[in-house]
Amino acid sequence: MSKGQEKHQKRLNELLMLGKDLARRAHSKCELCGATGVSLAAYEVPPAPVQPDIDKTLFICSVCTEQIKNPKRMDAHHWHCLSAAVWSTTPAVQVVAVRMLKRLLDREGWAEDLYDQLYLESEVQQWVEESE
């Protein structure tokens, strides 16, 4: 196994160790869209820390993951869930929700209305702007 592959596998194993705590925090639902009864996986919010950190990791479904990673495949209808996610008490959820909302601003009127209503703590706002 190559050194890069070993490093990647080690990171995945470290993220798996967060699984139970993430599931507990998320109540076994996607932390963005609220999907239940689907496979959920850890998603590290960029910029990722050196060591995996539960406070910088989400537990989300494959639909959300795919659309976060591939903005061209975004289904705006799916992201109506952001109206709840932006008010989450979990800062990492807020960060990703606001980043996704920003992607929709030019295409969706509801996204602009929601964005105009937002109030974020300064640390969360700073994190939103990092690695956008």
- Per-residue confidence of the chain (132 residues) as pLDDT tens digits? 577 778 767 777 777 778 888 889 999 999 999 999 999 999 999 988 888 889 999 999 999 999 999 988 899 999 999 999 999 999 999 999 999 999 999 999 999 999 999 999 999 999 999 865
CB contact burial 93-103 (16+ within 10 A = b; e otherwise): bbbbbbbbbeb
Q: What is the identity of the amino acid at 23?
A: A
pLDDT for position 12: 74
Cα atoms in the Cβ-side hemisphere of radius 13 Å centred on 23: 13
Omega of the bond prior to 47 within 30 degrees of 0, cis?
yes
pLDDT for position 132: 58
| Number of folded domains that form the chain | 1
Residue 64 domain boundaries: 3-129
pTM metric for this prediction: 0.87
pLDDT for position 52: 84
The CA angle 70-94-85, to the nearest 5 degrees, is 85
